[in-house]
Structures are given as C-alpha cells and as structure tokens.
C-alpha cells in the first residue's frame, strides 16, 4: 500500500509497537510466557479493592455512572477531577497552580506526542528544533513520536560505579549544551528503563539551564510523586512555570483507563487541550470517574505512600537479590533501583548484541526488552547500547526468578 510520509513515519512497526504487541500476546497467551518485558503495573490487591469500591460507589450513587459514560468531557478533561487535582497539588507541594494549569490526555504517551511536536520540529521562520534528552538511556516510547526527521538529540551519560556490580547514570553537565536548535528538554524521573531517579541537584541544574534558554523542561513523572510514588530516594518533586510535569493514572494500576495529566503554564495546557479536540475530541472519562473522590479526599496519596511504594520497594529488593544470585560468576552490572519497576542489566563485553540475546530469550518464551531501543538521539557510536537489557519486576516473583535464570543461562552460553 502506498502511504504518505506520515504513514511511513507512524504506521510502521516501532520499538514501542513491538513491546505492546509482545505485552498483549503474553497477557492473553494460553501457553506460558515469562513476561519481564512490558511496563504493565502489578495487580496490587489493596489498590484493586480501592478501585472496586470507587466503581461500586459510582454505580450506586444516583446518575453518576450514567453521566460518566454518557457525556463527553471538554477537551481539557474532566473538570471535577482537574479541580480536585489542582487543589491536591497546591496543598501537598504549595505549587501555585489552578485548574487552568492542567490538561488531560488519553494516556501520557499521547501527551508526549503532543508536547514534543509542539516544541520541536519545523518552525514558521524556517528553523528546526529538536527535543534534547540529557540523560540516556531514556524511555522507548519517545523514540517514534516525532513527526519530523532527526527529532531528538542526546549524549552519553556519566557512569558512577557504586560497587563491583552496581552503577548509576548521571547527566554529563560538562558536555551538555542547550543550543538554538533545542525546543524542549525532557527526562523521565524515575527513569524508564533504568529505575534511576535523577537527583534533586540534577533537576535543578537542568531547570536552570532550560529556563536560561527559554525552553521548557518536561519531566515525565509517570512513576513519580505524589502518585503512584514509586520512588525509593529522597527525591523532591518539582514544578514551576517553566516546567511541564506529565503524570499518569497508569502505574497507579489503571493503564486501561488511558489517563495522562499535563501540568504546565496556562498557555501550554490550553494548547494541549486544543490538540485533544482535533485528535480525539476529549479525553476519556472513566479513569477520572474512578479516582476523583480519591484525589479529593487525599486517599490517593495515602494509597501511593503506604501501599504502592512499599509494594514495589520490596519487589525491587527481592529482584536485586535474585539478580546477584542468578548472575553470579557472570560479568554483569545492574543499575541501582531507585524507582519505577525495572532492573537495567549491563553485560560489559557481551559477545552477542542485546537484540540477539532478546531473540534467544523470546524463543524460550522469556520476554525482556533489549537495551538498544532506549538511546534515541545518540549520534556517537557506543558499544554499551548493545550490552543492556531491561527487565520488569512488576510481575510475580517466580516469574522474575525463572526469567533471570534464563537470562543467566543465555549469557553464559553466548
């Protein structure tokens, strides 16, 4: 089929498309697949009970259910939710925001498509701008959202060796330049795929640099504070008028609700809503219908702090222990798990590429994500790109144990 440039750019198989195909197939598979690949959140019983209670209240409370499913929300998203969230964030962090600073999207993935293409790409004066990713590796879902070519620019990180087997990536500020060709700077914090939480100082320096150049710092807070709060360090959340904070209901446990949240200065939020109107009329309202009361009462904060965070922190501890046990005797490193729910494994001098390792594992019905997908915008060659794997530890521990065992066997055999 002959299609337009748009079709050739977007309607093709991408890294994120492959990942979501694998995820869907694994979750509906009749044969057993060890799913350590996708970014699906865990099913945490206490959290699920809470959503079930909200849903029951919605069904039993007058015509709330009929209104939730029977009406379009405005392009900015459900007004009651937006008001409740603005109040929550003002109260929790003292941020000077109101409902005018918030726009919802059908999943935060769509928010990145909108925001990146708002700030990067071709400008009317003939200039062309890019999104700068100052800390690689970075989220696979960004890679294909740009509507123009050469959409990203990025640089190698610094690697802090914490002990014989543990490391942490840092922004290499000595090499970081925000030139006239940069339209926005973006980091995910906690970072998918590494579980890194860039430090408060790193965020402050990025904010200052971006602000000095008059470009927004986009912080992808899909795993961050105040919900779902899958953060194990003393990181402080940050927002100001020059920052765009993107959040999501997905990692809280509601990925099917497809609810993304953009917190930005008013004119940015407004533009996101305008794109919503063109692309999808309005964000879906089921996610907000389920959580609005939890936001209003602050219960979402308690749930995140007392249930979700400790749940993943314990899983991280177990997974890390298992990594050291399964990979003993192999030349491996693991990124210090500071948040989100991924182990980022690095096999220095791996004789095969991580893509080949992924394929060998897939033949054994073990799904992981090969590392090369997480380096968008890196122009310089770097063997490291082909030496890493992302492993999710959100699933049952037995799956993680069996998966790591299989990884160890394949690396030994390589």
Ligand X SMILES: Cc1ncc(COP(=O)(O)O)c(C=O)c1O
104 touches 78 (CB < 8 A): yes
Question: What is the closest distance, in whole angstroms, from the C-beta atom of residue 116 to ligand X in the complex?
Answer: 12
Two tokens, residue 405: 């065992």
Q: How far is the CB of 342 from ligand X (least distance, A)?
A: 9
Residue 254 corresponds to which tokens in the numbers above? 């509601």
Asked if 88 and 295 count as a contact pair (C-beta separation under 8 A), the reply is yes
Q: Residue 192 or 196: which CB sits closer to ligand X?
A: 192
Which residue's structure tokens are 């991408």? 14
* Segment lying near ligand X (by CB under 6 A), choices 42-50, 90-98, 107-115, 278-286: 107-115
Complex with ligand X: residue 187 or 402, whichever CB lies closer? 187
Beta carbons of 220 and 135 less than 8 angstroms apart: no
Pick between residue 192 and residue 354 the one whose CB is nearest to ligand X: 192
Q: Which is nearer to ligand X, 191 or 326 (CB)?
A: 191
**220 contributes a contact to ligand X by CB under 6 A:** yes
Q: Cβ 285 to ligand X, closest distance in Å? A: 16
Buried b (16+ CB within 10 A) or exposed e, 367-403: bbbbbbbbbbbbeeeeebbbbbbbbbbbbeeebbbbb
Least distance from C-beta 303 to ligand X, angstroms? 18
Nearest distance, CB of residue 52 and ligand X, angstroms: 21
Q: Are 198 and 186 in contact (CB under 8 A)?
A: no
Closest CA to 392 of 27, 146, 62: 27
Can you tell me the distance from the alpha carbon of 39 to that of 390, in angstroms, rounded to the nearest whole number?
A: 10
From candidates 260, 283, 285, 370, binder to ligand X by CB under 6 A: 260
Binders of ligand X in range 165-204 (CB under 6 A) = 188, 192
By beta-carbon proximity to ligand X, the closer residue of 141 and 337 is 141
Using CB under 6 A as the binding rule, whether residue 392 contacts ligand X is answered as no
Q: How far apart are CA 36 and CA 388, in angstroms?
A: 14
The DSSP-derived string for 11-71 is: SS--HHHHHHHHHHHHHH-SS--EE-SS-PPP--HHHHHHHHHHHHHHHHSTTHHHHHHHS
Which listed range, 69-77, 104-112, 357-365, 373-381, lies at the site for ligand X (CB under 6 A)?
104-112
- Residue 248 or 326 having the CB closest to ligand X: 248
Site string for ligand X, 236-255 (x = CB under 6 A): ------------x-x----x
Note whether 344 binds ligand X by CB under 6 A.
no
What are the φ and ψ backbone dihedral angles of 177, each rounded to 5 degrees? -125, 130
Write phi, then psi, for 355 (nearest 5 degrees): -65, -40
Q: Does 139 bind ligand X (CB under 6 A)?
A: yes
137 counts as binding ligand X under rule CB under 6 A: no
Residue 229 or 250 having the CB closest to ligand X: 250
| Beta carbon nearer to ligand X, 39 or 157 | 39
CB of 310 to ligand X, least distance (A): 20
Task: Report the alpha-carbon distance of residue 231 to residue 246 in Å, rounded.
Answer: 16
Q: With binding defined as CB under 6 A, does residue 39 bind ligand X? A: yes
**Rg of the chain's alpha carbons, rounded to an integer?**
21
What is the enclosing helix (H) or strand (E) of 188?
strand 182-188
Binder of ligand X out of 78, 101, 108, 288 (CB under 6 A): 108
Candidates 75, 77, 137, 141: give the one binding ligand X (CB under 6 A): 141
Q: Which residues bind ligand X (CB under 6 A)?
A: 39, 107-109, 139, 141, 188, 192, 220, 222, 248, 250, 255, 260
């Amino acid at each position: 089929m002959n299609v337009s440039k748009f079709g050739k750019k977007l309607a093709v198989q991408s890294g994120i498309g492959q990942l979501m195909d694998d995820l869907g197939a694994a979750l509906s598979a009749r044969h057993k697949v060890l799913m350590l690949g996708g970014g699906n959140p865990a099913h945490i019983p206490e959290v699920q009970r809470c959503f079930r209670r909200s849903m029951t209240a919605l069904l039993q409370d007058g015509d709330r259910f009929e209104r939730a499913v029977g009406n379009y929300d405005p392009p900015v998203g459900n007004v009651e939710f937006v008001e409740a969230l603005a109040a929550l964030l003002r109260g929790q962090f003292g941020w000077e925001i109101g409902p005018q600073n918030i726009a919802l999207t059908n999943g935060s993935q769509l928010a990145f498509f909108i925001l990146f293409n708002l700030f990067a790409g071709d400008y009317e004066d003939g200039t062309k701008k890019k999104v700068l990713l100052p800390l690689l590796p970075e989220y696979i879902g960004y890679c294909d959202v740009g509507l123009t070519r050469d959409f990203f620019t990025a640089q190698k990180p610094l690697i802090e060796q914490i002990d014989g087997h543990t490391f942490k990536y840092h922004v290499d500020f000595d090499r970081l330049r925000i030139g006239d060709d940069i339209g926005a700077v973006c980091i995910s914090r906690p970072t998918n795929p590494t579980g890194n939480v860039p430090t408060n100082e790193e965020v402050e320096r990025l904010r200052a640099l971006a602000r000095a150049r008059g470009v927004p710092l986009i912080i992808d807070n899909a795993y961050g504070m105040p919900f779902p709060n899958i953060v194990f360090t003393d990181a402080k959340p940050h927002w100001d008028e020059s920052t765009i904070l993107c959040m999501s209901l997905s990692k809280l446990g509601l990925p099917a609700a497809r609810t993304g949240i953009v917190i930005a200065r008013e004119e940015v939020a407004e533009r996101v809503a305008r794109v919503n109107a063109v692309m999808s009329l309005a964000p879906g309202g089921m996610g907000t219908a389920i959580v609005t009361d939890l936001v209003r009462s602050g219960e979402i904060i308690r749930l995140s702090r007392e249930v979700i965070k400790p749940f993943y922190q314990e899983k991280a501890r177990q997974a890390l222990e298992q990594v050291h046990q399964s990979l003993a005797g192999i030349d491996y490193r693991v990124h210090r798990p500071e948040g989100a729910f991924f182990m980022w494994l690095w096999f220095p001098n791996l004789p095969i590429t991580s893509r080949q390792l992924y394929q060998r594992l897939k033949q054994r019905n073990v799904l992981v994500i090969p590392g090369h997908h997480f380096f968008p915008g890196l122009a310089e060659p770097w063997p490291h790109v082909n030496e890493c794997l992302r492993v999710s530890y959100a699933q049952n521990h037995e799956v993680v144990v069996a998966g790591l065992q299989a990884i160890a066997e394949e690396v030994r055999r390589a």
